[in-house]
Amino acid sequence: MKVTPEILQEEFIGLEAKILESENPSYVGISGTVIDETRNTLVLLHSNGRKVILKELSVFHFRLSDGTIVKIDGKAIVGRPEDRVKRRIRRRW
pLDDT: which is higher, 24 or 93 = 24
Q: Which long-range contacts (CB under 8 A, 24 or more apart) does 37-45 make?
A: 37/12, 37/13, 37/81, 38/80, 38/81, 39/78, 39/79, 39/80, 40/78, 42/12, 42/17, 44/17
Note the pLDDT tens digit of each residue in 10-65: 889 999 999 999 999 999 999 999 999 999 999 999 988 999 999 999 999 999 88
Task: Write down all domains in the chain, each with its CATH number in brackets.
Answer: 5-86 (2.30.30.210)
Q: What is the pLDDT of residue 81?
A: 83
Q: What is the pLDDT of residue 16?
A: 96
* pTM recorded for the entire structure: 0.83
Continuous H helices in 1-93: 81-86
